[in-house]
Structure 1
Amino acid sequence: MTLLIAVFLALVLFFGQRKLFDKNWKRKLHVSLAFGEQGVYPGELCTLKQIIQNKKRMPLPALQVKFQADKSLQFQDETEAVVTDHYYRSEVFMVGGRKQITRTLPFRPQCRGKYSIGQIQIAAQDFFMSKKYVAVLPENTMIYVYPRQLSMKQLLNHNKQVLGEIVERRSYQEDPFYFRGIRPYQPYDPMKYINWKASAKYGELLVNSFESTYSRDVCLLSDVETDSVFYRQEMQEAAISVASTLADYYLRKGARVSFRTNGREDTDEEIVLEQCQGITAITALNRRLAGIDLAKDSADFARMIRQIIPNCRQSRQYVCITTRPVRDILEAVTLLQSKAAEVLLIVPQIAGEEVQIPAGALVWNI
């Protein structure tokens, strides 16, 4: 009799807890992922937060959480993951009632792009591990990996005026990036410009003097197509990086920057930006560049140049960026030069890929 009662109670407990799990296992359970940064450059340390919230009293003895991400993000912790065509992570948690678990997963993205995680798979088991409960949760976390930034030294050594910073002594605003020398202090000089070491040496107040500059109205035209066979993606990424680096430099100097490329975003939208200015424009432009999908067909670059010629401005500087200075592109650039006051042609070149550089073009060794 005692045995029958024990069996009966065990069955009641078993089916009772199963019914409890059937009804409540996913109730007040929240699982989410969130990138710690919205936009980063390749190689920077980033984080992905994995948050599990169980707001009900009933604990979950075994909750499995799965998700996948692009393998180019290169997560540092691979103990609970498998890396093949993607980064697949699967981890089991014991979540108490009214508890929250947070995991921070560091990673370093390696490639430009727009990366998102679209869903999370969760699986739970009851107290007796007799039944598995599975659900797929929608997720919408995203991170922009901006184009890799290049060194400006190589280009500056070719031509200091290439960035549109023309040193002009008669301008009313001094640029602290161009040091001219020292001069005696005047009552209108800011205190921050006083050169204390020189003042102590010569026994009078002396201030640093700077050259004056004025910023340009610049239009960047970027060609993401390439004729390279062995270094196709590297050359395409080089052209995008050159455009991003130049735009960053111009905008930080106060220039008004317009941008156009023959590349397409994943939405097939054409990337055209007009009269951007200020530091915030750097983020906006880099996000658009991060979204360029090189698998999509690009528009004809020579035709794109010809389309802007009727409305080109004499006061605007045009910078054409291409890794393939072929005949039709050079003809379009020459035609643009006949209509605009300043037109520059920049040809990015990577090691191992020889490109015939036309006369007058600037080479940027990547």
Structure 2
Amino acid sequence: MVLIGILVLFVVLITLQRVVYSRFWSRNLSVDLVFSARTGIEGGTIKMTEVITSRKLLPLPWLTVKFQVSRHLVFLDKKHATITDNYYREDLFSLGMYQRISRTLEILLQKRGYYTIKSIDLVSSDLLLTRKLVDHASSHSVITVCPRLIPREELEVPYSQVMGQVLAKTALLPDPFEFRGIRDYQGFDTLRSINWLATARTGALKVNVHEYTASREVYILLNVEPDGAFYEEELIEEGIRIAASLCEYLVHDDVSCGLISNARDVITGESIDMAAGQSIQHIHQVQEQLGRLDLSRKPAVFAQLIEGRFVSAGEEPVLLMISLNCSEEVCQAWDSSLSYGSQGLWILPRYADRQDRVPETEHPYFCWEVKRHVH
């Protein structure tokens, strides 16, 4: 009878703990995956911390945390990982009562892009390992990987051409804040420039003369359309790096820089039109926007996007177009954009070992040679 009683008690205890764990194992249990920064740079590293918190008396002898991310986020600790189209990771923990555990992992940011971890799978069991318990946790972990910057010395030729065009406008645009003197009125002068006090004193029309300044405004026009039927992502990614690098260096040289692109934003789905700016914050905004470009979506038609965009009675910016596509439509839209008075340079990313067509345009262009990436 005693043996039967012990067996009955044992069965009751097993059943009870199974019921308790089935109902309460995931209650007051939280898992957070936290990146050390909101953005990173292609080719750099960043840290991600797994934080598991149990706010209850019930211990968990083992808890497996499973999640998946893009394979372009490479965890340097490759334990418990499977890599296919995505990166699948499993980490094992053991939690006592009211315990918090954190583990920090280092990640190599292999490719530009916008990456999310949307869900986490949790797997555990009861004390006696008689039942497998599964639950899911939501995640809002996001990181934007911005394009890698090309060293300034490598961009010296196209950058010098762009800066030359910016500075060449010095003698064309008066600076209203820098007064140089007074002279006689001429037929091309505006009424706004007349100095009425000097006119009244001399009895002849006099106008103010100002010092001259450069427009110091550049718009980067980034086209992600391929040149022909073959989609060459490596060249387009290089074009994005060129855009990021030139914006960085121009702003540091006190030149306002804007960005227009037919690529789609991964969040909004819209093409890109960022006004010119000249602050450190503006650089960060441009870099992050370039990181969020989604090349898997069909881009807007580039020729339509820039056609008539710079028709203005004000100061014309210097235009810097980065485009693989040399189609007739793009060439016509480019020539039309420059016909309104803007200066410009077309940069064409090209493989160094291949001869591709060049644009049929009367305006300057520069072929940026790209070495093929060996996989």
TM-score of the aligned structures, taking structure 2 as reference length: 0.80
Distance 1:69 1:16 in 2: 38
Distance 1:364 1:338 in 2: 25
Determine if contact 1:226/1:235 at 8 Å carries over to the other structure. Answer: no
Aligned to 1:123: 123
Shift of 1:332: 2.0
Q: Residue 265 of structure 1 aligns to which amino acid in structure 2?
A: D
Size of the aligned set, in residue pairs, is: 324
Shift of 1:8: 2.3
Determine if contact 2:308/2:337 at 8 Å carries over to the other structure. Answer: no
Give the SS at the match of 2:118. Answer: strand
Q: What is the 5 A alignment of 1:124-143? A: 124-143=124-143
Shift of 1:312: 7.1
Instruction: Classify 1:312/1:82 alpha carbon distance in 2 versus 1 (closer, same or farther; 3 Å).
Output: farther
Aligned to 1:247: 247
Shift of 1:161: 4.3
Distance 2:261 2:233 in 1: 16
Distance 1:312 1:135 in 2: 62
Aligned to 2:41: 41
Distance 1:312 1:66 in 2: 59
Determine if contact 2:217/2:255 at 8 Å carries over to the other structure. Answer: yes
Determine if contact 2:220/2:321 at 8 Å carries over to the other structure. Answer: yes
Shift of 1:154: 3.7
Per-residue CA distance 1:230-264 (angstroms, 9 max, x = gap): 66111211221111111111222232222110111
Per-residue CA distance 1:196-217 (angstroms, 9 max, x = gap): xxxxxxxxxxxxxxxxx96711
Aligned to 2:368: 364
Distance 1:101 1:35 in 2: 16
Determine if contact 2:308/2:336 at 8 Å carries over to the other structure. Answer: no
Q: Residue 361 of structure 1 aligns to which amino acid in structure 2?
A: Y
Structure 2, unmatched stretches of 5+, are 176-212, 371-375
Shift of 1:269: 1.2
Q: Residue 352 of structure 1 aligns to which amino acid in structure 2?
A: D
Determine if contact 1:126/1:132 at 8 Å carries over to the other structure. Answer: yes
Q: Residue 116 of structure 1 aligns to which amino acid in structure 2?
A: T
Q: Residue 2 of structure 1 aligns to which amino acid in structure 2?
A: V
Structure 1, unmatched stretches of 5+, are 172-212
Distance 2:44 2:275 in 1: 29
Q: Residue 37 of structure 2 aligns to which amino acid in structure 1?
A: E
Q: What is the 5 A alignment of 1:184-333? A: 216-227=216-227, 232-266=232-266, 267-311=268-312, 313-333=314-334
Shift of 1:91: 2.4
Distance 1:113 1:299 in 2: 19
Distance 2:29 2:45 in 1: 30
Aligned to 1:61: 61
Distance 1:324 1:4 in 2: 84
Instruction: Classify 1:230/1:2 alpha carbon distance in 2 versus 1 (closer, same or farther; 3 Å).
Output: same
Q: Residue 306 of structure 1 aligns to which amino acid in structure 2?
A: E
Aligned to 1:339: 340
Give the SS at the match of 1:339. Answer: coil
The range that moved more, 56-65 or 231-240, is 231-240
Shift of 1:314: 3.3
Instruction: Classify 1:321/1:74 alpha carbon distance in 2 versus 1 (closer, same or farther; 3 Å).
Output: same
Per-residue CA distance 1:176-219 (angstroms, 9 max, x = gap): xxxxxxxxxxxxxxxxxxxxxxxxxxxxxxxxxxxxx9671111
Instruction: Classify 1:319/1:339 alpha carbon distance in 2 versus 1 (closer, same or farther; 3 Å).
Output: same
Q: Residue 280 of structure 2 aligns to which amino acid in structure 1?
A: I
Shift of 1:357: 3.5
Aligned to 1:95: 95
Aligned to 1:201: none
Q: Residue 247 of structure 1 aligns to which amino acid in structure 2?
A: C
Q: Residue 339 of structure 2 aligns to which amino acid in structure 1?
A: S
Q: Residue 30 of structure 1 aligns to which amino acid in structure 2?
A: S
Determine if contact 1:118/1:139 at 8 Å carries over to the other structure. Answer: yes
Determine if contact 2:271/2:299 at 8 Å carries over to the other structure. Answer: no
Determine if contact 1:224/1:322 at 8 Å carries over to the other structure. Answer: yes
Per-residue CA distance 1:141-165 (angstroms, 9 max, x = gap): 0001111221332432356241366
Instruction: Classify 1:150/1:354 alpha carbon distance in 2 versus 1 (closer, same or farther; 3 Å).
Output: farther
TM-score of the aligned structures, taking structure 1 as reference length: 0.82
- Corresponding position: 1:355 with 2:356: yes
Determine if contact 1:63/1:93 at 8 Å carries over to the other structure. Answer: yes
Determine if contact 1:314/1:339 at 8 Å carries over to the other structure. Answer: no
Q: Structure 1 vs Structure 2: percent identity of aligned residues? A: 29
- Corresponding position: 1:110 with 2:110: yes
Q: What is the 5 A alignment of 1:115-194? A: 115-157=115-157, 160-163=160-163, 166=167
Instruction: Classify 1:109/1:70 alpha carbon distance in 2 versus 1 (closer, same or farther; 3 Å).
Output: same
Q: Residue 364 of structure 1 aligns to which amino acid in structure 2?
A: W
Per-residue CA distance 1:291-336 (angstroms, 9 max, x = gap): 2111221122222221303237434211111112333222222222
Shift of 1:79: 1.5
Give the SS at the match of 1:297. Answer: coil
Distance 2:22 2:255 in 1: 62
Aligned to 1:186: none
Distance 1:227 1:166 in 2: 32
The range that moved more, 350-359 or 259-268, is 350-359
Determine if contact 2:117/2:141 at 8 Å carries over to the other structure. Answer: yes
Aligned-residue CA RMSD in angstroms?
2.4
